[in-house]
Structure 1
Amino acid sequence: MLVKRLGQVDYAPTFQAMQDFTARRTADTPDELWIVEHPPVYTLGQAGKPEHILKDVGIPIVKIDRGGQVTYHGPGQVVIYLLLNLPRLKIKVRELVTAIEQAVIDLLAEYAVIAERRDGAPGVYVGDAKVAALGLRIRNGCSYHGVSLNVDMDLSPFTAINPCGYAGLKVVQTADLNIPLTAHEAGERLSHYLLQQLDKQHG
């Protein structure tokens, strides 16, 4: 599996690149993980309701084709996109979601932070606050989109939305949990745990 570190990249062209990669891939195309950060952007899932965007704070909104509602991406948050051939990995979508959530839980456990998943609300939570958001699209058995982990960022843009469609949902970041990682370092650790989980699911 190829791990690509793309640095800070604009959202829209990255979204297009994921779609293009997925459309072009063949049975032999290696799977890829893309580690990125994005400039400030709100992304609205395909069934996303505009009313979950509470006020205009001047941040662009991009409508996309993942599941889920609205979320925020910005500098200091690491995003990992998973471009995977699920039948080849012998992984079902539900197992992939579990593997992604477990990778985040394992990363936080390394720093003695207890995190958990919630039934019916994909992502990872510490107490009642969301630390990682998750959204996927599957096309012809292949996944794209992925997971975002709040590391060391300005969380205020989350207050202008109902994160993931939940009014008043609190968000938290690893910097506030005394985890001394930069977004870059968190991306490296999280990709390690993701590969470990995918290997386990596949195995």
Structure 2
Amino acid sequence: MSNPLVIRQLAQAEYTQVWQAMQTFTDERNQSTLDELWLVEHPPVFTQGQAGKEEHLLAPGDIPVVQVDRGGQVTYHGPGQQVIYVMIDLRRRKMGVRELVTLIENAIVNTLAEYDIDAYPRPDAPGVYVDGKKVASLGLRIRKGCSFHGLALNVNMDLSPFLRINPCGYNDLEIIQSADLNGPKTVAEAGDGLVKHLSALLEATELQYQTGLEQQNDS
């Protein structure tokens, strides 16, 4: 059975622009719309999830805060972090939300395992960890049986903005990045590995590479 997957390379893009495009894509997609992975780096931004509490924003300072419609608490996005938005028709795949979360976590774990990094998910706190420190965050929204939002893997970035928040609502959570673990040193390297493992777990039969935010819903 054919199962193509679109890999959409967005390079660097403002968070709100991509967030609005995700919502439009999800609202307008139909039964023939291909599933997509969107790869992007964002300029510095804090995003506050639906369950987000104000007290976890300690001192955002000059970094903008965006209230968004994903699950979870506050997190930080910035240059040197590989963000991948996972635009999957769960209904068509007969896949549950928990199954997709596990799949994404496994793709991150498998990517880091290629560098002999022993990463793992935690049942009490979504994301992926190494020695108790968080290397990747995860948050999804489901609408019309389809997912959007996704994962963020810290690769080679300025981690100091994480000190301005309680990441994901945990005040003692340490944040690490793959470059400091002898893992992927660049966003491109991390993106290649994540796409390889996500597409394998999603059982994609073909990868279609595209750039920009042009939609394919009316095809």
Please confirm whether the aligned pair reaches a TM-score higher than 0.5, indicating the same fold: yes
Pairwise CA distance, 1:56:
2.9
In 2, the alpha carbon distance for the partners of 1:99 and 1:56 equals 32
| Match of residue 118 from structure 2 | 114
| Match of residue 196 from structure 2 | 192
| Match of residue 168 from structure 2 | 164
| Match of residue 129 from structure 1 | 133
Which amino acid in the other structure matches residue 109 of structure 2? Answer: I
In 2, the alpha carbon distance for the partners of 1:151 and 1:55 equals 23
Unaligned 5+ runs, structure 2:
205-219
Structure-1-length-normalised TM-score: 0.96
Amino-acid identity (%): 58
| Match of residue 83 from structure 1 | 87
In 2, the alpha carbon distance for the partners of 1:187 and 1:56 equals 28
- Partner of 2:203: helix, strand, or coil? helix
Pairwise CA distance, 1:57:
2.3
Which amino acid in the other structure matches residue 12 of structure 1? Answer: T
| Match of residue 37 from structure 2 | 33
Q: Normalized per residue, which structure has more helix?
A: 1
Which amino acid in the other structure matches residue 116 of structure 1? Answer: Y
| Match of residue 208 from structure 2 | none
Higher RCO (CA 8 Å, separation ≥ 6 residues): 2
- Partner of 1:188: helix, strand, or coil? helix
Within the candidate set 48, 65, 74, 1:44 is matched to: 48
Tell me the C-alpha RMSD between the 2 structures: 1.0
Deviations 1:85-130 (A, max 9, x none): 0011121100000000000000110000100111121100001100
- Partner of 1:48: helix, strand, or coil? coil
- Partner of 1:171: helix, strand, or coil? coil
| Match of residue 59 from structure 1 | 63
Deviations 1:149-199 (A, max 9, x none): 000000000000000000120000001101243111111110111111122
In 2, the alpha carbon distance for the partners of 1:163 and 1:51 equals 11
Which amino acid in the other structure matches residue 188 of structure 2? Answer: H
How many residues are matched? Answer: 200
In 1, the alpha carbon distance for the partners of 2:199 and 2:60 equals 38
Query: Aligned pair in 2 of structure 1 residues 33, 180: CA closer, same or farther (>3 Å)?
Result: closer
Which amino acid in the other structure matches residue 115 of structure 1? Answer: A
In 1, the alpha carbon distance for the partners of 2:193 and 2:184 equals 12
Query: Aligned pair in 2 of structure 1 residues 125, 2: CA closer, same or farther (>3 Å)?
Result: same
- In the alignment, is residue 23 of structure 1 matched against residue 27 of structure 2? yes
- Partner of 2:197: helix, strand, or coil? helix
- Partner of 2:162: helix, strand, or coil? helix
The structure 1 segments of at least 4 consecutive aligned residues displaced by more than 6 Å after TM superposition are none
